[in-house]
């Protein structure tokens, strides 16, 4: 019996990085987890790992930029487990580093539609399911780069800022209906996205570590445990909150 026993969580990007670690921690703490993502093999491997440890999970393939795909994901979650209590929006895209003038329209649109429309689609289809069961909790995964400007990431920074505002709006809209909506703003976390973005070299990691007063980059379990707390009843009076998980990288 864990603190999430009997509860159902959808984790987008649950087959990689922060989302995958969140899926592992939720399952270990009793939740039935719907691991949602694009990559089937990684999704099946994540579910197998959860099941090997006695947890319960299914994988559903989704493209969060497509509202019909997200609607189908939520339907499959309800068909499998009867309800949805938690949503973690961890799927996201960073795109290539390019200044405002040099960013291509295609890259810009991909990042914005993934991060903003994707998170919005998931909230749009999950919140009605939460209302049916008297409430729930949502955690969106934004970034410190959604609060602090970072050159070369115009689409990423503005879309993560947009995710923060999506969070705050929904938090106000559903506060009285017992749905809490919070957002984490991670600094650099050692995931496939970070490795791709930074190039994965020790020099790049050392450079990114300089942004974090703690003196290192973060690990996926350190982001996941913040997400779990925000989902948990321990955070019952916390909604609309932007939580930095960034080793002291100052977020105004």
Ligand X SMILES: NC(=O)c1ccc[n+]([C@@H]2O[C@H](COP(=O)([O-])OP(=O)(O)OC[C@H]3O[C@@H](n4cnc5c(N)ncnc54)[C@H](O)[C@@H]3O)[C@@H](O)[C@H]2O)c1
Kindly indicate which of the ranges 61-69, 101-109, 126-134, 174-182 contains the residues binding ligand X, using the contact rule CB under 6 A.
61-69
Take residue 245 and report the two structure tokens written for it: 């998980």
Q: Judged by CB under 6 A, does residue 13 bind ligand X?
A: yes
Q: Judged by CB under 6 A, does residue 182 bind ligand X?
A: no
Using CB under 6 A as the binding rule, the residues of this chain from 23 to 52 that contact ligand X are 37-39
The only residue of 141, 157, 166, 224 in contact with ligand X, by rule CB under 6 A: 141
Main-chain dihedrals φ then ψ at residue 251, nearest 5 degrees: -110, 120
- Binding to ligand X by CB under 6 A, coded x per residue (else -) over 193-232, reads xx--------------------------------------
Choose between 131 and 205: whose C-beta lies nearer to ligand X. 205
Choose between 143 and 158: whose C-beta lies nearer to ligand X. 143
Q: Is 109 exposed, middle or buried (0-12, 13-18, 19+ CB in 10 A)?
A: middle
3-class DSSP state of 227: helix
The only residue of 95, 136, 162, 186 in contact with ligand X, by rule CB under 6 A: 186
Q: Does the active-site annotation cover 156?
A: yes
Cα separations in angstroms, 59 against 12, 35, 44, 199: 10, 5, 6, 29
Determine contact, residues 36/87, Cβ cutoff 8 Å.
no
The only residue of 8, 19, 95, 130 in contact with ligand X, by rule CB under 6 A: 19
Q: What whole-number distance in Å separates Cα of residue 79 and Cα of residue 76?
A: 5
Q: What whole-number distance in Å separates Cα of residue 155 and Cα of residue 209?
A: 23
The only residue of 17, 95, 154, 162 in contact with ligand X, by rule CB under 6 A: 17
Main-chain dihedrals φ then ψ at residue 208, nearest 5 degrees: -65, -30
Q: Judged by CB under 6 A, does residue 166 bind ligand X?
A: no
Q: What whole-number distance in Å separates Cα of residue 120 and Cα of residue 122?
A: 5
Choose between 56 and 205: whose C-beta lies nearer to ligand X. 205
Containing 131, the helix (H) or strand (E) segment is helix 118-132
The only residue of 76, 117, 191, 239 in contact with ligand X, by rule CB under 6 A: 191
Q: Which residues bind ligand X (CB under 6 A)?
A: 13, 15-19, 37-39, 62-65, 90-94, 114, 118, 141, 143, 186, 188-189, 191-194
């Amino acid at each position: 019996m864990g603190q999430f026993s009997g509860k159902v969580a959808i984790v987008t990007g649950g087959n990689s990085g922060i989302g995958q670690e969140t899926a592992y921690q939720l399952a270990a703490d009793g939740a039935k987890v719907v691991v949602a993502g694009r990559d089937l093999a990684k999704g099946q491997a994540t579910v197998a790992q959860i099941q090997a440890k006695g947890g319960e999970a299914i994988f559903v393939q989704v493209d969060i930029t497509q509202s019909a795909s997200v609607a189908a994901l939520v339907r499959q979650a309800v068909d499998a487990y009867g309800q949805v209590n938690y949503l973690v929006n961890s799927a996201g895209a960073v795109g290539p580093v390019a200044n405002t003038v040099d960013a291509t329209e295609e890259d810009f649109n991909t990042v914005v539609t993934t991060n903003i429309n994707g998170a919005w689609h998931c909230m749009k289809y999950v919140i009605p399911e939460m209302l049916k069961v008297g409430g729930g909790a949502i955690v969106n995964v934004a970034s410190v780069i959604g609060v602090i400007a970072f050159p070369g990431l115009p689409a990423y920074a503005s879309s993560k800022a947009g995710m923060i505002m999506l969070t705050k709006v929904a938090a106000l809209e559903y506060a009285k209906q017992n749905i809490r909506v919070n957002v984490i703003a991670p600094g650099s976390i050692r995931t496939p996205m970070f490795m791709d973005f930074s190039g994965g070299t020790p020099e790049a990691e050392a450079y990114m570590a300089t942004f974090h007063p703690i003196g290192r980059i973060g690990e996926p379990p350190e982001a996941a445990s913040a997400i779990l707390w925000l989902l948990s009843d321990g955070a019952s009076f916390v909604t609309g909150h932007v939580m930095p998980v960034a080793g002291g990288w100052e977020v105004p």
